[in-house]
Structure 1
Amino acid sequence: MEKENRLNSECKAVKSKKQFEILPSLPTYGPMYIPVSETGKPFYSEGFPVRFYRRDGTEWVANFEPGWTDLKQVIQLDNTDLLLVIACGTCYLMDPDDTKPVAVFGVGYSHILQANASRYVLHDETHLTVIAADGTHWRTERISWDGLADVRIEKNVVSGLAFSPTCTSDEWVAFSYDLDTGSLVGGGGR
């Protein structure tokens, strides 16, 4: 029992250690950074640099290929070792111990909202993408033709306005998306 308690406290200590650090630029000294892209092909311009700390105490620097927006963030997903790295609108699911992404998706995400402790919602100009705590993610059907505004979450329902041009006018149409059932009401993208 004592050995089990010691192992549990060691595991908690490892979990609480720093897993990443967002860098202001690529380091000029030390080991070479590792370019991380969707295709796996290297690129040589500065993207979104992040230092990762492995569980064994070593570290490495990733240079993430950027997407099309200004959204840059790293989020520790609950109850996993996965990190969601958002590099200028492109999402990379990363295990800090591995230099290859678990998954790469999107390119134009402009906003992220936390739905609850276990889910996040990203949006671009036309869709929502929901990310669960285990890293699984899904994209909604098209909600807007070219723009989402006033997006918010209340009680697991995402709502806002979707741009819907017509022959005679340009309108903003209300929409709501239930995160639990996956049902979409309204919007103007269909």
Structure 2
Amino acid sequence: MTDIKRYEILEALPTYGPMYIPVTESGEPFYSEGFAVRFFKTDGSEWVANFQPGWTDLKGIYELKDTTNLLVIAYGTCYVMNPDDTKPVSVFGVGYVSVLNTQDGRLILQDQTDLTIIETDGSHWDTTRISWDGLKDLKLENNIVSGLSYDPMTEADELVHFSYDIDNKILTGGSYNRYETVKKPWWKMW
């Protein structure tokens, strides 16, 4: 990317100047203070966004390798934004808790039950469900994410190892698919 400043994360909403613009998934007005960001447009003007927050403490802005769009994470909710536009390109998630960076520029977002992969062009996809409710100790090596997934079905609330190959979209292990059974037709009772 260029060395031109495209955004500035603000400590709070400005007390003077033009009114901030609320950015939400639905486009509905949002009046509480969320995640405040000043964007600098390519024409030299600027605007302040107030992003509606999600449910966690994760916040930040990530530049995407193959697009001018930015990924804004506002307390667990993701907004793909073009700094020249006040409307998000896409909005997804509310509970992301951490981010891993791949060597090829992709981002891996951790939720409570699965992962979301942000491609270098800003598109995204979700893995299959990995955990019943909780992932921890994530590591990334050679585009394989590994870690522990919570299994509440055991007496000891066991943590089960998993690995996910993001290139081939293959899950190995994990607590959620531990109990997969052959599904019977709805009408068969025995």
Same fold (TM over 0.5): yes
Q: Return the match for 1:77 from 51, 64, 67.
A: 64
Q: Are 1:133 and 2:115 counterparts?
A: no
Matched residue of 1:104: which SS? strand
Instruction: Tell me the equivalent position of 2:92.
Output: 105
Q: Return the match for 1:143 from 130, 133, 152.
A: 130
Gaps of 5+ in 2: 178-190
Matched residue of 1:16: which SS? coil
Count residues in correspondence: 177
Please give the TM-score of this superposition, normalised by the length of structure 1: 0.91
Structural mapping, 1:169-180, within 5 Å: 169-180=156-167
Instruction: Tell me the equivalent position of 1:25.
Output: 12
Q: Which deviates more from structure 2 when the two are superposed, residues 114-123 or residues 96-105?
A: 114-123
Matched residue of 2:96: which SS? coil
Instruction: Tell me the equivalent position of 2:148.
Output: 161
Aligned Cα root-mean-square deviation (Å): 1.0
- Distance in 2 between the 1:78 and 1:117 partners? 9
- Distance in 2 between the 1:119 and 1:168 partners? 38
Please give the TM-score of this superposition, normalised by the length of structure 2: 0.91
Q: Which amino acid aligns with 1:120?
A: L
Q: Deviations 1:161-180 (Å, cap 9, x if unpaired)? A: 00012243311000000010
Q: Which amino acid aligns with 2:26?
A: T
Give the 4+ runs in structure 1 shifted more than 2 A: none
- Distance in 2 between the 1:116 and 1:97 partners? 28
- Distance in 1 between the 2:94 and 2:84 partners? 24
- Distance in 2 between the 1:189 and 1:115 partners? 25
Which one has the bigger helix percentage?
1
Matched residue of 1:121: which SS? strand
- Distance in 1 between the 2:124 and 2:12 partners? 29
Gaps of 5+ in 1: 1-11
Instruction: Tell me the equivalent position of 1:51.
Output: 38
Instruction: Tell me the equivalent position of 1:5.
Output: none
Instruction: Tell me the equivalent position of 2:81.
Output: 94
Q: Are 1:116 and 2:103 counterparts?
A: yes
